[in-house]
Amino acid sequence: MKKEYEIMIKAVKRAAALAKRQIGKVVYELKGRSNLVTAADIACQKEIVKIISKAFPEHAFLAEEKQPGLKKEGRYVWVIDPIDGTTNYAHTFAHSAVSVALTDNGEPIMGAVMDIFKGELFTAVKGKGAKLNGKKIKVSSVAKLKDSLLITGFPYDRAPIRKVHIPIFADFLFESHDVRRSGSAALDCCWIACGRADGYWEFSINPWDCCAGTLIIKEAGGKVTDFKGREFSELERYGAEFLGSNGKIHKEMLKIINKTLGCL
């Protein structure tokens, strides 16, 4: 898998550099209610696909942006978010990343997330740990929710916000040190993995938002499940309900989330 890793890093760095050159120079379009896409998203995805397809023409892709002719079925599937945190990127709110993961029969085996603005590169290979700029990282040692810093996000579909997301947000706000809403799921996962925060929950993110980040959290000693505490069983289910943590506060977070979900 050495070649796959090298190609993954090449693709992520090339896309991050392309996105960085375009900061502030691209207009956005709406794919849906508050769901933005820019020309940079499209260009970065095409560049990533070009690099990977040249090296591995038989591999398939699960990518955020529509791209005609992409092979979708196969043992090896590359999961791509060319710019995660597109709304941030479009507004030059400096917190967006390129996220690429390679899966083998639906199981992430390597992943890379590169912060477009800061240049931080988070990587993980299954069974070999997680790194930030080549140095091993691990989740925080915070053992209690009341001592934690949390992260969340909100889906583009704003409908369930008032009845579901705000009550859960409020519960966590009162049960933790504080809650951050960054706008990039991939970076949220990486910040849990390196101990900058202790738990991240979000409804309705996509496999491309969190596939690499899920592996990076796990390889850094953390835990990722849905809101019933189950590991993701298939690629398509990644992110429908996302809870990533340092493992130590996972049960407390599940209890808070299900307090509201149980009332619905």
The residues annotated as belonging to the active site are: 64, 81, 83-84, 86, 209
Q: How far is CA 220 from CA 39, 61, 190, 224, 244, in A?
A: 34, 26, 9, 11, 11
Choice between 35 and 260, CB closer to ligand LIP:
35
Going through the chain in order, the beta strands assigned E by DSSP cover 28-32, 35-38, 60-63, 76-84, 97-104, 107-115, 121-125, 130-132, 135-137, 149-152, 178-181, 199-203, 223-225, 241-245
Asked whether the CA dihedral 126, 132, 134, 138 is positive or negative, the reply is negative
Q: How far is CA 145 from CA 8, 52, 181, 248, 253, in A?
A: 35, 41, 17, 9, 7
Q: What is the DSSP letter of 232?
A: P
Q: How far apart are CB 148 and ligand LIP at their closest, in Å?
A: 19
Choice between 4 and 239, CB closer to ligand LIP:
239
Helices (H), 30-85: 39-55
Q: How far apart are CB 182 and ligand LIP at their closest, in Å?
A: 7
Choice between 86 and 214, CB closer to ligand LIP:
86
Q: How far apart are CB 87 and ligand LIP at their closest, in Å?
A: 6
> How far apart, in whole angstroms, are the C-alpha atoms of residue 39 and residue 23?
11
Residue, CB closest to ligand LIP: 153
Applying CB under 6 A, which residues contact ligand LIP? 64, 81, 84-87, 153-156, 183-185, 202, 205, 209
> How far apart, in whole angstroms, are the C-alpha atoms of residue 85 and residue 198?
20
Q: How far apart are CB 136 and ligand LIP at their closest, in Å?
A: 25
Helices (H), 64-121: 86-90
Q: How far apart are CB 98 and ligand LIP at their closest, in Å?
A: 10
Choice between 45 and 140, CB closer to ligand LIP:
45
Choice between 209 and 252, CB closer to ligand LIP:
209
